[in-house]
Structure 1
Amino acid sequence: MDIVFIGLSITSSWGNGHATTYRGLLRELARQGHRVTFLERDVPWYAMHRDLPEPPYGTTELYASLDDLRARFAGLARRADAVIVGSYVPDGQQVGDWVRQTAGGVTGFYDIDTPVTLAKLAEGDHAYLAPRQIPAYDLYLSFTGGPTLARLRDDYGARHAHAFYCAFDPEAYFPEPTATRWDLGYLGTYSDDRQPRVESLLIAPARRWTEGRFAVAGPMYPSTVEWPSNVMRTDHVPPAEHRAFYNAQRFTLNVTRDDMIRAGWSPSVRLFEAAACGTAIVSDVWDGIDSLFEPGSEIVLVRDTDEVLDVLMHMPDAEREAMGRRARERVMAEHTAAHRARELPSLIASAAASVTDLPATA
């Protein structure tokens, strides 16, 4: 197939998790013989932090504006078997309308932020997707599974809504011998709604267990956050160093945004990456996580500071290591980028087989 993605960023992983997801998916699609093109808006904040300026798989093109996109890539959109617009694309609503008007094949929306998207729609925020566009897209690939898929179909009229979880690259994420530096680490960009759980599940344990070693990596944390002296802080760990970061932890923390907790069934790509490294995971609790990992066997679910400290201070190393191995086996069997790359063409073909003629901006 000839597949075109218009996404947030593939060239820069700074402050977003989309890049690693797109990189793995496009690489595996290219390996399977598909022709893939990624179109990315050239914006200064990613231009300053490009850690993969020229991806070595498929074709990546930067465009300067909506008019530039329309002028340079209309022919590409018309020829492609599928054109897929991602969430959080600048001027995404206008980009989506252009795709619907121009594309000659299947049109799709890849929502790596489904719960956030639906919350924005409920608030009247249509910056990158309008409600009228959901039934107009031939295919809706959702970061979130479970009941959210029924909501997309029943409340918004999505015609082909499918769970299309993020995935990891097994060539980049795997166990390797590394000196243990931290008892608990966390990798994630700051967000107001996640921060209370970062406070209760990492910062508070660090304050109470002064002999413990902790790490938080990610940008945008305000200066008002009071970090205990036993918490190592760094603004950015590039993807090439994620594996080393995870392997240097006894446990890694998974913290979920409020909208995704409410929706459930919304695994972060960081969750799969950490599991692939065989690092034992401590996670907050949300509906559907037990469909991805078996609690107590493949993951530890915690609700407060006391439960975190109990795990960190009392779980035997042999049990921790076995948990990490089981989690790795689970994601290797179900959540690699190659799994998603095998799924996508069949989803496109299914949507193409049942496409009906609709107005371009229905």
Structure 2
Amino acid sequence: MKFAFFGSSLVSAYWNGAATYYRGLIRQLHARGHEVTFYEPDAYGRQAHRDIADPPWANVVVYEPTTQAVDMALDAAATADVIVKTSGVGVFDRTLEEGVLSLKRPHNTVIFWDVDAPATLDGLDADADHPFRALVPRFDLVLTYGGGAPVVDAYRRFGARSCQPIYNALDPDTHHPVARAPRFDADLGFLGNRLPDREARVDAFFVAAARARPQARFLLGGSGWDDKPLPANVRSLGHVYSHEHNAFNVSPAAVLNVSRESMARYGFSPATRVFEAAGAGACLITDAWEGIERFLEPGREVLVAHDGDEVARHLDAVMAGRARAIGEAARRRVLAGHTYAHRARELEALLDGRAGDAAPRRAGNWA
């Protein structure tokens, strides 16, 4: 089958946390015989901060952020069997949503793929006149990269014909154990961009833990933190390129996941870095959110904290020797059930209209 994706960026993770999600899934779709074209705007400095060159497993079309260029991209995508508009492209989002819906034909499938469903749904709840409300029922399928039953039920309330999570996962070819890197040496590392609905939770879990353990070394990676006052034992790195994520995950004694506020509230929303850390065999400490046990077993495969003090106590245990066993158990779990190969089969099954696993298919042989 031919897929056309309109998303933020496939080739750059700069201010674009969904990049590795797109890459893992699309790479597996290609491996299963599908042809994917990814349309992304030249915006927000992402092309200047590429993590990868154009990959052999997708056609990447970079278009200028103009109405004319958007129209040309939509025209080029019209022949695809599956046309996807993701959330958060960042420029011309509403134009693209209306545009892909205009391409709906009896023989194709048009999907809205929400990589930040809690934020989208909160916006729809807050505004009875939100223009996206009228578009939701027109998509053949709404997919999300998390949220579980709360997100599915909310989308159905807004008239979605069908809604299904396709969760984040691991690409074991890109996220795996590597040698430790002195640059990332620390007791606890956190990697995430500074965002309005994340910063307070980073303060509560990461910064508070650093203050509680002044003798420990903390490492902060991600964009936007340059002017934030931090404790003396926190070292800020700025943007960390995706090819460095493995080293970032394995070098500290443990790494921390902190969910954005809305994702923690909805639950069932594991961030991409949960699986990246597990795939590298890192010892992961995560903030508490409903549904974590669906992905990793608390206490054995992941350590769960409800506040910064609990993060600090987990760190004490990690530094006393628990890290390796937790990291190895997490890696086994995600390899067994949470890779992008699993997710690609789930997507095929949805598109094929079956409840079970889909058998591997080649382009032109979707029967």
TM over 0.5: yes
Deviation at 1:285, TM superposition (A): 1.0
1:305 aligns with 2:308: yes
1:63 aligns with 2:63: yes
Query: Does the CA-based 8 Å contact 2:175-2:276 persist in structure 1?
Result: yes
| Aligned alpha-carbon RMSD (Å) | 2.1
User: What is the rounded CA distance, in whole Å, between the counterparts of 1:141 and 1:72 in structure 2?
Assistant: 22
Worse overlay, 162-171 or 264-273: 162-171
Deviations 1:131-152 (A, max 9, x none): 1111110011112212221221
Match of 1:292 in 2: 295
Query: Does the CA-based 8 Å contact 1:146-1:288 persist in structure 2?
Result: no
User: What is the rounded CA distance, in whole Å, between the counterparts of 1:133 and 1:234 in structure 2?
Assistant: 41
Structure 1: any 5+ residue segments left out of the alignment? 352-362
Match of 2:364 in 1: none
Query: Does the CA-based 8 Å contact 1:12-1:50 persist in structure 2?
Result: yes
User: What is the rounded CA distance, in whole Å, between the counterparts of 1:292 and 1:110 in structure 2?
Assistant: 21
1:165 aligns with 2:159: no
1:218 aligns with 2:222: yes
Deviation at 1:314, TM superposition (A): 3.1
One-letter identity of the residue aligned with 1:37: T
Cα 1:176/1:136, change in 2 over 3 Å: same
Match of 2:365 in 1: none
Deviations 1:159-215 (A, max 9, x none): 121111122321111123426721110000012332223223222222332321110
Query: Does the CA-based 8 Å contact 2:121-2:154 persist in structure 1?
Result: no
Match of 1:178 in 2: 180
1:188 aligns with 2:189: no
Q: Secondary structure at the match of 1:146?
A: helix
Cα 1:72/1:163, change in 2 over 3 Å: closer
Of 269, 275, 286, 2:278 maps to: 275
Deviation at 1:337, TM superposition (A): 1.7
Query: Does the CA-based 8 Å contact 1:218-1:237 persist in structure 2?
Result: yes
Query: Does the CA-based 8 Å contact 2:74-2:99 persist in structure 1?
Result: no
TM-score, normalising length: structure 2: 0.89
Match of 2:338 in 1: 335
Worse overlay, 236-245 or 89-98: 89-98
1:206 aligns with 2:210: yes
Deviation at 1:48, TM superposition (A): 2.5
Query: Does the CA-based 8 Å contact 1:12-1:53 persist in structure 2?
Result: no
Count of equivalent residues: 347
1:95 aligns with 2:99: no
User: What is the rounded CA distance, in whole Å, between the counterparts of 2:217 and 2:25 in structure 1?
Assistant: 35
Query: Does the CA-based 8 Å contact 1:149-1:162 persist in structure 2?
Result: yes
User: What is the rounded CA distance, in whole Å, between the counterparts of 1:209 and 1:44 in structure 2?
Assistant: 37
Cα 1:192/1:73, change in 2 over 3 Å: closer
Match of 1:358 in 2: none
Query: Does the CA-based 8 Å contact 1:79-1:103 persist in structure 2?
Result: no
Worse overlay, 312-321 or 113-122: 312-321
Match of 1:238 in 2: 241
Q: Secondary structure at the match of 1:193?
A: helix
Match of 1:263 in 2: 266
User: What is the rounded CA distance, in whole Å, between the counterparts of 1:125 and 1:45 in structure 2?
Assistant: 34
Deviations 1:250-271 (A, max 9, x none): 1111101111111111110011
Structure 2: any 5+ residue segments left out of the alignment? 355-367
